[in-house]
Amino acid sequence: MYAILDIETTGGKYNEEGITEIAIYKFDGHDVVDQFISLVNPERPIQPFVANLTGINNQMLRNAPKFYEVAKRIVEITTDCIIVAHNSSFDYRILRTEFSRLGFEFKRQSLCTVELSKKLIPDQQSYSLGKLVRGLGIPLSDRHRANGDALATVKLFKLLLTKDIEKKIITETVRTETKRQVDDKLLRLIEAAPSATGVYYMHREDGTIIYIGKSKNIKKRLNQHFTNDNRKSKKIQEEVVSVTHENTGSELLAL
């Protein structure tokens, strides 16, 4: 059983985002058997660029339920399900963060349709949801709204299931609850870094240096490294255990 979902957020600093809208479709491999769609009052302001992108503004959410009011329904509809999302590491992290604020540990297996699409439908020009489904002839309405994106992901996932005849690739791609430890580790490294100009060194467990960089704001730069989804950043995120730094006071000295 799968819980195919999409989440819209306020934007903002890593792990400080709030959910503004969520859509979940419970899918048995053939049909949608349950669904939950709701705006959510994030109890924090929406970043202006996000409001422009999604069309969701603070006024719309004033009377929407707060996350704790919909949390039970989310637990129920996702119980014994594998979470499926386009870039699931983001949606799943946001859900875990919201539940963590309530003192509840939300643990599910997860599948990413970006990762699956790259394996099962190679050589596409883009794997962003909008461009990918358009290229595959899958209808998509209400782009950047939870319900529209979740419905498109349901249709994409149905297609991916037909491509993986033996279900071998999908089975091998399921992620167990290991990402939370990585997220928490990276968050601690970000929080420990100074918002100062200088040079920073990323270390593996044995102390060897993975990466050396300079920045006018080391904390902000680490946040970029640890939230980027490209291959280089993912490798750094997996291997980094500690970060040391030298404050130089000026960018010229850092260079």
Domains of the chain: 2-173 (3.30.420.10), 179-254 (3.40.1440.10)
**With 70 as the cut, is the pLDDT of residue 183 above it?**
no
64 class by beta-carbon count within 10 Å (0-12 exposed, 13-18 middle, 19+ buried): middle
Distance linking the first and last C-alpha atoms of the chain: 53
pTM, entire model = 0.70
d(CA 74, CA 96): 11
Each residue of 83-142: pLDDT tens digit?
A: 999 988 889 989 999 999 999 989 999 999 999 999 999 988 899 998 999 999 998 888
pLDDT at 6: 96
Q: Which residue has the tokens 């467990």?
A: 205
Q: What separation in angstroms does the CA of 121 have from each of 34, 64, 148, 245?
A: 28, 38, 22, 42
What DSSP letter does each residue of 177-232 carry, written as one string? TTHHHHHHHHHHHHHHS-SSSEEEEEE-TTS-EEEEEEESSHHHHHHHHHH--SHH
d(CA 78, CA 83): 7
Provide the percentage of residues in the chain whose pLDDT is more than 70.
97
Q: Which residue has the tokens 């091998």?
A: 172
Read off the tokens for 80.
Answer: 């014994």
d(CA 72, CA 230): 34
Residue 46 gets which letter from DSSP?
P
The radius of gyration of the chain's CA atoms, rounded to the nearest angstrom, is 20
Q: What separation in angstroms does the CA of 177 have from each of 78, 89, 106, 109, 234?
A: 15, 11, 9, 6, 17
Ramachandran sector of residue 89 (left: φ over 0; alpha: ψ -120 to 50; beta: rest): alpha
Each residue of 58-81: pLDDT tens digit?
A: 999 999 999 999 999 999 999 999
